[in-house]
Amino acid sequence: MSDEEMIRRVVAARLRQQLGRGSSRPLIDENAVNAIAEGGELILPPNALVTPLAQQAALDRRIRLVAASDTPYTQMDGNTLALGADHGGFALKEALKAELQGRYSIIDCGTNSAESVDYPDFALAVAEQVASGKVWRGIMIDGAGIGSCMVANKVPGVRAALCYDYATAVNSREHNDANVLTLGAGLIGSALAKQIVETWLKTPFGGGRHAKRVDKIIAVEHKYGK
């Protein structure tokens, strides 16, 4: 057995152990995907947790992951985004929405004015859209992007990343499979924000050695009963 195969088995076993302690969500790992004939289809049970290694195996072997409702559970690409902001990020949210409309379907989670509001409310709304599978990815903007990132990462299934330049946008997707992006409107201008968003949306998850590390992130999440 190769070192890579041994690591995969250890990670998969650890995930199953943690799920058994704190969650009833069924786990779909790469072994489940590899049991399907290449080019086939795997029907997923409700509320299934699909590991990044399983996602990569499905991509490599052209296997379509489908929920019982016939809606793809894990999409390598998509066209529906959730956008949110507090009062500090409202103007930038509107600018990004105008830029993205026509290419993506947008669910605007608010806020709808520059009147003072609390960022946790809107960060939670965006994160829940992503975690539920209703949207492909989410973008949340506040003054610094830090607080919203903290809130979003409390929601099971969300991996939020605060990005402030091209490199962090690429890294968060390629290495961490981030599905929520947070931005600090008070720290970056509109032009840079648009570049970050475009880069983040177009950068695929790298898989490979990164997948086993994201699996460990998921294991930590389930260790604490999320």
Q: For a pLDDT cut of 90, what percent of the chain falls above it?
A: 55
Lowest-pLDDT range of 17-31, 53-67, 194-208: 17-31
The pLDDT-based confidence of 74 (bands split at 50, 70, 90) is very low
Give the start-to-end residue ranges of the domains of the chain: 3-75+206-223, 80-202
Average pLDDT over residues 20-27: 61
This prediction has a pTM of 0.70
- Structure tokens belonging to residue 110: 């608010």
Does CATH place domain 80-202 in 3.60.15.10?
no
Q: What is the pLDDT of residues 46-73, one digit of tens each?
A: 667 888 888 888 888 888 777 544 433 3
Active site residue 210: no
Q: Maximum CA pair distance of the chain?
A: 60
Least confident residue range of 34-48, 144-158, 170-184:
34-48
Beta-strand runs (E) in 63-222: 64-67, 80-85, 105-108, 137-142, 160-162, 180-184
